[in-house]
């Protein structure tokens, strides 16, 4: 993990996370220069490196300021941009009432360097609006907490997402922000950038197994697929829940919904990281898609009470991880189904044996 590689200042944030394999390497570049963004680049070289021209990156024309060396080692690149936070309330009988939007490209962000933990591989990007006329952020903040992984496993805190060494987890945190309505709900707008030849699709998978995330039976994945139908290139994956507590429990769950993936017909807000890497192709050959993730529902009062919202999403390369039944669940199921069957077989044998003994006590009549 590198903070602002090649730059001594802390007035801007750029975090480079590099994972090296025997024959390849993966790059995650997180930044708050403009809207909060993560750039994901997969290369087929274990020695590939990130290069940043800081003078150009911080200029009004950042195109070409970020690249990977050697350039021909790049096999896939994409970007995810967190653009806006909406707030609305269902005011009856007027219907939905939307409040002024929080544009994340206009936030003021704290230095990542203060929260960077090289041992735990975590960092937290926290910010507030540069101008806050309503005072909603007077005692609160919006944050993105990043966690990288060195091996596969499962996160200990709910929603206990399954991860691999090729993925990273992002937590969207809203803490202490005063809602502007009595029944406010929040919506986070997420945009993705894909180069020519790739397209994003939203998948929803349901399972009867809620062992790791109680009462949640749906997993959603925003998967980047090649147009020629080959294996997935990258993904965002999350479970259909958020939580209203710093130490989440089942009863702290907040409903989470994905409100349809659409091809964006608007340009991205100021996001120097995306412009610096994709350059002129951003407006020509790249595809920009947008997805709204809403938090709240019938139980939307959880945030009103605790003023805390946490949503976890996994980002990575290749096929999204798939949950399977654990050995414990398989054993319990086998016992639950096998015991009645064994009792039935044993009972049948006893009945047959009793019948044979009863008739064997009599001599045949001549």
Q: Taking 90 as the threshold, does the pLDDT of residue 364 lie above it? A: no
Whether 323 maps to a domain, the answer reads no
Report the alpha-carbon distance of residue 113 to residue 149 in Å, rounded: 19
334 with 310, same domain: the answer is no
pLDDT value for 133: 86
pLDDT value for 348: 83
203 with 75, same domain: the answer is yes
pLDDT band, residue 2 (cuts 50/70/90): very high
Query: Quick one: which of 81, 15, 145 has its CA closest to 274?
Result: 81
Locate all alpha helices (DSSP H) within the chain, ordered by sequence: 54-57, 272-278, 301-306, 327-360
Highest mean pLDDT among 299-308, 311-320, 337-346, 349-358: 311-320
192 with 273, same domain: the answer is yes
Kindly report, residue by residue over 5-51, the tens digit of the pLDDT: 999 988 999 999 999 999 999 999 999 998 999 999 999 999 999 99
Of 1-10, 216-225, 232-241, 255-264, which range is least confident?
255-264
Query: Quick one: which of 233, 236, 166 has its CA closest to 196?
Result: 233
Which of 317, 338, 354 is the last residue in one of the domains?
317
Report the alpha-carbon distance of residue 324 to residue 5 in Å, rounded: 40
Over the chain, what is the mean pLDDT?
Answer: 89
pLDDT value for 328: 57
Report the alpha-carbon distance of residue 37 to residue 9 in Å, rounded: 19
Q: Taking 70 as the threshold, does the pLDDT of residue 363 lie above it? A: no
Whether 30 maps to a domain, the answer reads yes
Alpha-carbon distances, residue 208 vs 70, 163, 217, 330, 365 (angstroms): 46, 20, 6, 13, 62
Whether 28 maps to a domain, the answer reads yes
Share of the chain above pLDDT 70, in %: 89
Report the alpha-carbon distance of residue 281 to residue 63 in Å, rounded: 10
Whether 141 maps to a domain, the answer reads yes
Q: 74 versus 351: which is more confidently predicted?
A: 74
243 with 339, same domain: the answer is no
CA torsion 216→217→222→224, rounded to 10°? Answer: 140
Query: Quick one: which of 119, 212, 236 has its CA closest to 162?
Result: 212
Q: 285 versus 217: which is more confidently predicted?
A: 217
How many domains does the structure of the chain reveal?
2
Alpha-carbon distances, residue 198 vs 73, 194, 289 (angstroms): 18, 6, 11
Q: Taking 70 as the threshold, does the pLDDT of residue 334 lie above it? A: no
Domain with residue 195: its CATH number is 2.70.98
335 with 291, same domain: the answer is no
pLDDT value for 151: 93
Q: 341 versus 122: which is more confidently predicted?
A: 122
Residue 42 has a CB neighbour count (10 Å cut-off) of: 23
Alpha-carbon distances, residue 277 vs 65, 78, 149, 175, 189 (angstroms): 7, 10, 24, 32, 22
292 with 340, same domain: the answer is no
pLDDT value for 366: 64
Q: 170 versus 207: which is more confidently predicted?
A: 170
206 with 68, same domain: the answer is yes
Q: Is 87 exposed, middle or buried (0-12, 13-18, 19+ CB in 10 A)?
A: buried
pLDDT band, residue 241 (cuts 50/70/90): very high
Indicate the pTM of the whole model: 0.88
pLDDT value for 361: 56
Q: Taking 60 as the threshold, does the pLDDT of residue 353 lie above it? A: yes
259 with 345, same domain: the answer is no
Report the alpha-carbon distance of residue 47 to residue 53 in Å, rounded: 19
237 with 345, same domain: the answer is no
161 with 231, same domain: the answer is yes
75 with 8, same domain: the answer is yes
Whats the size of the chain, residue-wise?
Answer: 366
3-state helix, strand, coil in the chain (%, to 5): 20, 45, 40
Whether 210 maps to a domain, the answer reads yes
Whether 322 maps to a domain, the answer reads no
Of 27-36, 183-192, 216-225, 328-337, which range is least confident?
328-337
What residues make up the domain containing 120? 2-317
Cα-based angle 272, 31, 106 (whole degrees, multiple of 5): 65
Whether 125 maps to a domain, the answer reads yes
Provide mean pLDDT across the span 105-130. 96
pLDDT value for 278: 94
Sign of CA dihedral 70, 33, 290, 234: positive
Whether 324 maps to a domain, the answer reads no
261 with 358, same domain: the answer is no
Kindly report, residue by residue over 43-96, the tens digit of the pLDDT: 999 999 999 999 999 999 999 999 999 999 999 999 999 999 999 887 665 667
């Amino acid at each position: 993990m590198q903070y602002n590689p090649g730059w001594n200042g802390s007035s801007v944030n750029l975090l480079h996370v590099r994972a090296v394999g025997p024959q390849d390497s993966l790059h995650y570049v997180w930044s708050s220069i403009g809207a909060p963004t993560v750039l994901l680049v997969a290369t087929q070289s274990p020695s590939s490196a990130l290069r940043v021209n800081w003078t150009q990156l911080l200029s009004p024309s950042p195109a070409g300021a970020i690249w990977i060396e050697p350039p021909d080692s790049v096999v896939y690149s994409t970007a995810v941009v967190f653009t806006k936070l909406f707030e609305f309330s269902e005011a009856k009988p007027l219907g939905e009432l939307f409040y002024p939007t929080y544009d994340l490209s206009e936030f003021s962000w704290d230095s990542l360097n203060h929260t960077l933990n090289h041992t735990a591989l975590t960092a937290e990007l926290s910010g507030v609006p540069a101008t806050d006329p309503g005072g909603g952020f007077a005692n609160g903040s919006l944050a993105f907490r990043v966690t990288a992984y060195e091996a596969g496993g499962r996160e200990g805190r709910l929603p206990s997402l399954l991860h691999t060494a090729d993925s990273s987890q992002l937590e969207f945190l809203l803490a202490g922000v005063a809602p502007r309505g009595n029944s406010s709900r929040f919506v986070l707008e997420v945009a993705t950038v894909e180069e020519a030849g790739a397209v994003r699709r939203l998948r929803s998978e349901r399972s009867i197994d809620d062992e790791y995330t109680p009462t949640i039976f749906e997993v959603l994945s925003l998967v980047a697929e090649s147009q020629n139908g080959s294996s997935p290139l990258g993904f965002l994956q999350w479970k259909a829940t958020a939580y209203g507590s710093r130490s989440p429990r089942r009863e702290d769950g907040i409903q989470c919904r994905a409100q349809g993936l659409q091809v964006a017909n608007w340009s991205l807000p100021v996001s120097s990281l995306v412009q610096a890497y994709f350059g002129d192709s951003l407006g020509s050959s790249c595809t920009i898609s947008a997805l709204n993730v809403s938090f709240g529902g019938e139980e939307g009062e959880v945030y009103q009470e605790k003023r805390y919202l946490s949503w976890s999403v996994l980002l990575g390369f290749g096929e999204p991880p798939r949950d399977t039944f654990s050995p414990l669940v398989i054993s319990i199921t086998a016992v639950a189904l096998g015991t009645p069957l064994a009792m039935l077989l044993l009972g049948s044998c006893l009945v047959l044996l009793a019948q044979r003994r009863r008739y064997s006590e009599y001599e045949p009549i001549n």
